[in-house]
Structure formats: structure tokens, C-alpha cells
Amino acid sequence: MSTDADIDPGRFTVEHVNVRGFQQAYVRVNTGGVPLLCVHGWPESKRIFWKVVEPLAAAGFEVIVPDLRGFGDSELGPDGFHDVTSHALDLYALVHDHLGHESVVLLGGDLGGPIIQDLALRHPDWVDRMVLFNSPLPYLKDRMAAIPGTRAARESADYFVRQGSDPDGLAAEMTTPEQRQRYIATFYTSRFWAHPGSFDGQDVLDFHTAPFRDAAHLRAGFGAYESAFDPTKRAGPSMHGPNARTPTLILHGTSDHVMYPAFDRMAAEVFAHHVGPFLLRDCGHFVPWEAPHALVSGTTSFCSDLLRAPTERSAPAPG
């Protein structure tokens, strides 16, 4: 059930900063709390976190929710790159260099998942821990070969191939804001990424899809897929592999028809120091919107020691 506040674009004050050559938009609530960086995926914007910002802030987090470059209220990347590496470099510049945080908790899924995984491997001393859900993962053949369900459903691959291999052609087919918005709406409805009923109501769909009405932003959103097919679309190598260091809470919305059915078991192999995995009932791909209470309570419990003593960070025990 969504309230009017949940779908109010003006619910939170949006700030802008230029730290890497473009205006990046972000929301920050409860300055001075434990820094928690919430990273959205595709086809999302910072609005996917609207239900959890206030409860996470009330729990003691300084909740930082940006729009990635080329998404929402952020400008496009000035160098033309919209890949995982670019997003990771942007977010480090935002949270470490601009906001001045010497440590951070990371939370994300979908495209946000590879981004926070990159940050944890790129800056292991900076990242206290991670909360990860419904995300692409490195395929560790020696550990995962015997796990059933390690490939995404074949019927969901059409969008991935088209957005990655023919992004300009696909974008050109959508000539009006309404066409672009309808295309994005399918990922919340008919493609069965979400649990049935999670995005019922045109007002809810409009809230999440409106940021993609702009042609340039829609095209930029294809950048992560494009970079998977074309190495020249990558700003640099991404950090993507097993993580034996960062304590990670693993959540899995099991109604997801786009991510691996075995996401939970696969993630447990990638992150040596994990808590969970916890399976979320009646929840699909969009965990912050579909299971906000579970995400808030899980994140709060996972970070309870940091929240009790935010100025005295001790190394967390392995999960």
C-alpha cells in the first residue's frame, strides 16, 4: 500500500553538487547519523527509496540517496560514460570527497548492486559493510556450478540484448515522452520483475516512470547494458569478484523474474562474511518499495553496533 507521501516527488529536499564535472542530485536526511548510501538500479531513480528514507533516518542513519549520472534529477555524464565504474567513482567523490565521510554503509540492488560491490573492493577500508539484494553477481564457476538456477530466465533477456547491443535503435523507436514512459512501465508490471500488485495504480507507475520521459536520460540509462557488450563504453575496469572482507547482509525478493532464481545461494558464495541470506515473501525485484519494513529492520539490526556508537567504529565480526 502506497501513501500520498510515498509518491510525492517533493517529499524530500533535493541537493545538487558538481564533483566530477556534472550536477549530481541527491537527498540527505539526518545529517550526523551513521552514513548509509542507498544506490538505485535500472529502471529506477532515487524515488525507489522514498518509503525507507524516513524510517532509516529515524533509526540513526544519515541517509544519502543520489540519482546516478543520467538518471532522475542528475545530469548526464560529461564524458559520455554511464557504466558501473563511472557510477562508483561518482559516488565515492560525492560521499567521501564532498560530504567528508571516512566510512560508509552501502545498500543497493540491480545496477546499484555491482556499483556497491565495486566500491567495497575498490575502497575496502572505507566501506564498513553492505546490504545487497537482487543484484548481478560475479559467476564463480568452481563454487556455483552445482547450484541450480544460476542463470536469469531466458525469456527476460530480450531487453538486455536490445539495450546493450542496439541502444540507439531502441531509443529512436520511442519518439514521445509517453512512449518512453510506457516502455519503462513494463518493467514494473507485465515483465513480472515485481510481485503481482506491487505497482498497481497509474499514479504509482507515473511516479517511478516519469524520470524516463526525457529521451537523453532514457538513452543514458542504457549505458550500463551497452558497456556489457562494448568495452569502449567503459570508463575503466570495474571491481567485480568475490569479497572475503566486507560484512554483507543478503536479502532476496523471491518473486523476481529477471534475476537469478538462486541469487541467495550464489551471493552466499561471493561474500565470505555474510549474514543471511534472508528470503522475502511476496517481494520481487524492487525490494525498497515492495518490502520496506523488512529492509529497514534488517539494515538496522545488521548495523546495530554502529548505530549505538557511531563515533566509535569497531570492526564488525564476520557473519
Is position 161 within any domain? no
Q: Strand 61-66 and strand 23-29: pairing?
A: antiparallel
Residue 263 lies in a domain: yes
- Reported as a pLDDT band with limits 50, 70 and 90, residue 319 is very low
Domain count, the chain: 1
- Checking if the pLDDT of 309 tops 90, the result is no
- Kindly state whether residue 61 falls inside one of the protein's structural domains: yes
* Full domain range(s) for residue 294: 14-152+242-308
The predicted model gives 163-173 an average pLDDT of 96
Which residues, other chains included, contact 305 with Cβ-Cβ below 8 Å and sequence gap of 6+? Answer: 314, 316
133, part of any domain: yes
164: pLDDT strictly greater than 80:
yes
Residue 235 domain-assigned (yes or no): no
Strand pairing category for 127-133 and 104-109: parallel
Q: At what angle do helices 112-122 and 84-92 cross, to 10 degrees?
A: 60
- Predicted TM-score (pTM) of this structure: 0.94
Tens-place pLDDT, residues 270-279:
999 999 999 9
Residue 192 vs residues 90, 203, 204: alpha-carbon distances, Å? 31, 19, 16
Residue count of the chain, please give it: 319
Residue position matching grid coordinates 558464495: 269
pLDDT greater than 70 at residue 167: yes
Asked if residue 205 is part of any domain, the answer here is no
181 part of a folded domain: no
Residue 300: CATH number of its domain: 3.40.50.1820
Across 196-213, average pLDDT: 96
The pLDDT of residue 155: 58
Percent of the chain with pLDDT over 70: 95
- Of the pLDDT bands very low, low, confident and very high (cuts 50, 70, 90), residue 150 is confident
